[in-house]
Amino acid sequence: MGETENEVKVDGSKKGMKNVIIGIIAVIVVILAVIGIVNLVKPSPEKTVKQFLKNIENKKASKIIDQIDFVGMSAYTTCRGDYEDFADNYDDAKEEMEDNEDDYEEYIDELKEELEDAFDDIDKIKIEIKKIKSAKKVKDAKNLYKVNAKLKVSITQDDDTDRNTTTIDFYLYKKGGKFYIVGMDTKSGDGLDLF
């Protein structure tokens, strides 16, 4: 009889151990699921470019404007390819914008209206991403990234469709955990002439 009690205790502890292992596995699965979800929604330069292109395709002027850092665009333009001074140029452009905040907001509103008017004249935009390279940090520039994308662009206006393949380097600035478009450099094709 003593042996049977021991056997029962051993079997009971095996069940307990099995439950602990199942519990540990369940916790690991939950942690991996949370990490996966965070990585899916976590902003990245590539995701930002894809969303930007989707907003162009859907003619969402307001969302396009929201994805652009115009202070960064001014700094990018001032650099003229020498991005070592991007951070300093950004600070200068931000200070200038703050000094002229009303003019800046008026400029953004006008730009949004112009883009909406341009989209009203276009029947359909189709952008197919043929290839998008992983983002590269721009040398000597803090929080500045470059994403190269090869696109097949089709724009239909007044029953006339213009198609071209274009390659663009998108420059993005990371600010507050998000990425914003600050520049576009057309490497080949017609580009995306929005502004």
Residue 6 is predicted with a pLDDT of: 46
Q: Pick the closest to residue 145 from 86, 93, 194, 91 (CA basis).
A: 86
Residue 195 is assigned to a structural domain of this protein? no
63 shares a domain with 6: no
Q: Pick the closest to residue 151 from 175, 129, 169, 178 (CA basis).
A: 129
162 shares a domain with 81: yes
Residue 104 is predicted with a pLDDT of: 82
CATH code of the domain in which 158 resides: 3.10.450.100
Residue 134 is predicted with a pLDDT of: 84
Counting beta carbons within 10 angstroms of the beta carbon of residue 55, is it exposed (0 to 12), middle (13 to 18) or buried (19 or more)?
A: middle
Residue 148 is predicted with a pLDDT of: 92
74 shares a domain with 38: no
58 shares a domain with 24: no
53 shares a domain with 116: yes
38 shares a domain with 131: no
144 shares a domain with 98: yes
Return mean pLDDT, the chain: 80
69 shares a domain with 117: yes
170 shares a domain with 96: yes
Contact (Cβ atoms closer than 8 angstroms) between residue 166 and residue 190: yes
- Residue range of the domain that includes 138: 46-188
What is the enclosing helix (H) or strand (E) of 47?
A: helix 45-57
For the whole model, what pTM was predicted?
0.73
Number of folded domains in the chain? 2
Residue 7 is predicted with a pLDDT of: 47
Residue 141 is predicted with a pLDDT of: 81
What is the enclosing helix (H) or strand (E) of 84?
A: none
Between CA 124 and CA 59 the distance in angstroms is 9
113 shares a domain with 85: yes
Residue 15 is predicted with a pLDDT of: 66
pLDDT < 70 regions, the chain: 1-16, 18-19, 23, 26-27, 29-42, 189-195
Residue 1 is predicted with a pLDDT of: 46
26 shares a domain with 116: no
107 shares a domain with 16: no
